[in-house]
Amino acid sequence: MNDLPPEPEPGAEAAPVPADHPDRLRWNAKYEGGAAPSFRPHPLAVRALSEPPPRGPVLDLACGPSGGALLAASEGRRVTAVDVSETALGLLGEEARRRGLGELITLVHADLAAWTPPPRSFALVLCTGFWDARVFGPAADAVLPGGLLAWEAFTLDARRVRPGLPAEWCLPAGAPASLLGGAFTVLDQRDVPDTRHGTKRRMLARRDAGG
Ligand SMILES: C[S@@+](CC[C@H](N)C(=O)[O-])C[C@H]1O[C@@H](n2cnc3c(N)ncnc32)[C@H](O)[C@@H]1O
């Protein structure tokens, strides 16, 4: 993919995240205190990129130090990577520059509850390790016709091993596929059991070419 579009990255503008935003504080502390990131791409990112999506950019929501963003960029795609933690974005940006991919990845520091992606703009919208029902609809709207939506998050069942996990961070039965309108075909939705960390659900769907 060498014929990259010259226009500015879609959705690069974002309102400043308040310094005392609880998610920002919590995740910055985790990334500052944690082990060095592996930058290993999430299996769902690998699967989605191998489908493959049509030509066009990738949106990685709640990206963290995302190996998926790096993989997509290494395949010549432009990536918009959004996270509330500037520490995570810093780690991702540093690794992208080290790999010579810095130009392809636009880092967006934003609270996803306050940031909306532009509609019909991305060949792949990816989100792993995050669920907020308010974010899902606009994320699905951001998928180009023929493009892919890939999501993984904890299910409500995960609260059996992680009782502290708020219900609103967990997928209810059937979601997220059940929340998609008729414009999508679900390619796969499955539970990924994990008796130690909690069960997650993984979904891959394609927006119909005329959708
Ligand atoms: C479990 S990590 C997942 C990171 C990465 N997607 C992955 O699969 O490894 C959750 C990510 O969501 C981000 N996050 C949490 N709340 C957020 C919010 N309100 N807006 C944007 N990102 C948020 C965190 O900073 C963190 O990077």
Calculate how far, in angstroms, residue 2's C-alpha sits from the geometric centre of ligand 1: 30
Residue 15 in tokens: 């309102």
Domains, the chain, ordered by start: 19-115 (3.40.50.150), 146-211 (no CATH)
SS3 97: helix
Over range 99-120, report the average pLDDT. Answer: 98
What pLDDT score does 66 carry? Answer: 98
Q: What pLDDT score was predicted for residue 108?
A: 98
Which atom of ligand 1 is nearest the CA belonging to 60? 6
pLDDT at 92 over 50: yes
- How many CB atoms neighbour CB 156 within 10 A? 17
Q: Whose CA is nearest to atom 16 of ligand 1?
A: 23
Helices within 35-156 (DSSP H only): 43-50, 67-74, 86-98, 133-141
CA 110/CA 108 separation, integer angstroms: 6
What is the rounded distance in angstroms from the CA atom of residue 183 to the CA atom of residue 112?
23
| pLDDT at residue number 211 | 82
Which secondary-structure segment (H or E) carries 154?
Answer: strand 143-154
Indicate if the pLDDT at residue 3 is higher than 80.
Answer: no
Q: What is the pLDDT of residue 85?
A: 98
| Mutation probe of ligand 1 site: the residue of 130, 151, 168 with most atoms within 8 A of C-beta | 130
Whether 27 is in the pocket of ligand 1, judged by its Cβ within 6 Å, is: yes
24-82: per-residue pLDDT in tens? 999 999 999 989 999 999 999 999 999 999 999 999 999 999 999 999 999 999 999 99
pLDDT at res. 7: 57
Query: Stretch 75-92: mean pLDDT, rounded?
Result: 98
> For the segment 151-198, what is each residue's pLDDT rounded down to a tens digit?
999 999 999 999 999 999 999 999 999 999 899 999 999 999 999 999
